[in-house]
């Protein structure tokens, strides 16, 4: 990465901040939110559908799980902390009483709920992801939906026990491994020919922060001031999520794969590292809070782009495979770097090779 690429990044970063301040609120109030009434209510006894959701214990992922549960899905919630995930599952079950009270009377018996199960998976540990997939496959031969939502943002530079940078491994490589391991059960749904299985990657508007393609593994992101480079590493990881979604769509055309930006949701745990910092945390809390007021959406609104990509019955393989969805749910073009097929192939091959080098072969012979 050259000095001019860093300056370019800084320019885009400040434009992004200015847009959030001055354009954000008007953009957000014009958002076209996906209506969850379009998502079919399933009866798990007659139409059993299985979803795997990563990071479902907080923020956007919790709302994904809540609404899938209310729509009758069987959900495997993959997380690293059993206590957190089981208490999140309990809260979803409690929320049911509140929701049912709002149902129109004639719908009460037509909306049976699904079920929620915890599966241990730590995305800083490749072996743990491999094991999580094996555990799910022990119980399920058919998987209809995978939502890759778990993520971390702007952490200090750290390398995991697999010797990968922590943001990239958590946001990309580990969840790619999980997906590839679950693929036989996803493909099995496609082969039955009645239901189109789906995969959704949580990307971010932050993928646009890099104006040139910073290749995975580029060591220049490991040097220099962390306050700048950590955002570049986050941006790089969220760009990779779009690349992998596009490559999956191309390589597996019978699976509807997408990536989404959920919106700016400042009260999730994603921002907690910055909010907790001594001194800087005071500014961070003020800055993040103001950004949220001007340009943010709620956590529940934040799940709508994901749930549109995951469940909107009007989406088809022919016209929608590999697409990117913006906050609230409308389709949008991601950046040119994200759309570039050669870049996407590079990201795919890099991840395949890194996994192979660590004993996890994910490509089919
Ligand atoms: N919030 C936003 O403004 C925003 C904007 C654009 C994109 N996104 C994307 O949306 C997704 C969800 O973010 P959120 O805002 O809902 O954040 P969040 O509340 O922090 O949720 C992140 C989830 O990921 C899990 N996770 C993190 N590291 C993990 C690991 N090593 N192993 C297993 N699980 C792990 C967390 O589990 P623990 O509780 O165990 O940490 C949590 O359940 C992320 O991919 C994020 O990049 C968010």
Residues 244/35, Cβ–Cβ less than 8 Å: no
Is 264 a pocket residue for ligand 1 (Cβ < 6 Å)? yes
Q: For the chain, list the strands marked E by DSSP.
A: 50-54, 74-79, 115-120, 145-148, 198-202, 256-260, 324-325, 331-332
- Say how many Å lie between the CA of residue 170 and the centre of ligand 1: 10
Is 55 a pocket residue for ligand 1 (Cβ < 6 Å)? yes
Average pLDDT, stretch 117-126? 98
Residue 365 within a domain: no
Average pLDDT, stretch 255-281? 89
Residue 154 within a domain: yes
The per-residue pLDDT for range 187-225, each reduced to its tens digit, is: 999 999 999 999 999 999 999 988 789 999 999 999 988
Residue 327 within a domain: yes
Residue 363 within a domain: no
Is 265 a pocket residue for ligand 1 (Cβ < 6 Å)? yes
Q: Select from 141, 221, 148, 146 the least CA-distant residue to 185.
A: 141
Residue 364 within a domain: no
Q: Does 99 score more than 70 pLDDT?
A: yes
- pLDDT score for 360: 98
Residue 228 within a domain: yes
What's the DSSP call for residue 82?
Answer: H
Cα dihedral 160, 208, 256, 311, rounded to 10, equals 100
Query: Tokens standing for 159?
Result: 């390398």
Q: Does 57 score more than 50 pLDDT?
A: yes
- pLDDT score for 249: 98
Q: Does 24 score more than 70 pLDDT?
A: no
Residue 361 within a domain: no
Residues 257/197, Cβ–Cβ less than 8 Å: no
Average pLDDT, stretch 70-77? 98
Mean pLDDT of the chain: 92
Domain that holds residue 146: 3-356
Q: Whole-angstrom Cα distance, residue 178 to residue 249?
A: 17
Q: Whole-angstrom Cα distance, residue 123 to residue 161?
A: 11
Residues marked as catalytic: 203, 234, 238
Residue 146 within a domain: yes
**Residue where the block lists tokens 């529940």:** 300
Q: Whole-angstrom Cα distance, residue 93 to residue 69?
A: 9
- pLDDT score for 2: 57
Choose the residue to mutate in 17, 150, 164 for probing ligand 1, maximizing ligand atoms within 8 Å of C-beta.
Answer: 150
CATH number of the domain at 10, please: 3.40.50.720
Task: Count up the domains in the chain and report the number.
Answer: 1
- pLDDT score for 301: 95
- pLDDT score for 108: 81
Q: Select from 246, 248, 244, 220 the least CA-distant residue to 233.
A: 220
Choose the residue to mutate in 78, 179, 268 for probing ligand 1, maximizing ligand atoms within 8 Å of C-beta.
Answer: 268
- pLDDT score for 26: 47
Q: Does 64 score more than 80 pLDDT?
A: yes
Dihedral sign, Cα of residue 216, residue 306, residue 150, residue 139: negative
The per-residue pLDDT for range 277-336, each reduced to its tens digit, is: 877 777 778 878 887 888 889 999 999 999 999 999 999 999 999 999 999 999 999 999
By mean pLDDT, which of 151-165, 174-188, 271-285 is the weakest?
271-285
């Amino acid at each position: 990465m050259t000095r001019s690429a860093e300056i370019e990044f800084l320019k885009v970063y400040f434009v992004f901040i200015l847009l959030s301040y001055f354009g954000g609120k008007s953009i957000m109030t014009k958002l076209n939110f996906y209506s969850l009434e379009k998502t079919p209510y399933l009866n798990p006894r007659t139409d059993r559908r299985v979803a795997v959701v990563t990071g479902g214990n907080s923020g956007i992922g919790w709302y994904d799980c809540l609404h899938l549960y209310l729509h009758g899905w069987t959900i495997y919630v993959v997380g690293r902390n059993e206590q957190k995930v089981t208490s999140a599952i309990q809260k979803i079950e409690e929320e049911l009483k509140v929701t049912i009270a709002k149902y129109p009377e004639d719908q009460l018996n037509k909306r049976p709920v699904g079920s929620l199960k915890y599966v241990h998976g730590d995305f800083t540990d490749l072996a743990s992801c491999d094991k999580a997939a094996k555990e799910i496959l022990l119980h399920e031969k058919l998987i209809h939906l995978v939502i890759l939502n778990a993520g971390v943002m702007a952490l200090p530079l750290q390398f995991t026990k697999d010797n990968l940078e922590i943001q990239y491994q958590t946001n990309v490589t580990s969840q790619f491994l999980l997906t590839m391991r679950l693929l036989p059960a996803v493909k099995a749904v496609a082969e039955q020919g009645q239901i189109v299985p789906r995969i959704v990657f949580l990307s971010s508007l932050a993928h646009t922060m890099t104006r040139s393609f910073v290749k995975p593994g580029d060591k220049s992101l490991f040097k220099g001031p962390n306050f700048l480079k950590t955002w570049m590493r986050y941006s790089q990881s969220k760009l990779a999520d779009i690349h992998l979604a596009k490559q999956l769509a191309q390589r597996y055309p019978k699976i509807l794969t997408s990536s989404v930006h959920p919106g700016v949701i400042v009260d999730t745990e994603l921002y907690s590292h910055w909010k907790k910092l001594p001194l800087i945390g005071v500014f961070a809390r003020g800055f993040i809070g103001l950004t949220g007021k001007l340009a943010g959406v709620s956590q529940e609104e934040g799940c709508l782009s994901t749930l549109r990509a995951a469940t909107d019955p009007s989406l088809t393989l022919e016209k929608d495979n590999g697409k990117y969805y913006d906050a609230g749910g409308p389709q949008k073009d991601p950046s040119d770097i994200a759309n570039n097929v050669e870049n996407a192939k590079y990201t795919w091959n890099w991840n395949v090779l890194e996994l192979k080098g660590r004993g996890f072969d994910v490509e089919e012979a």
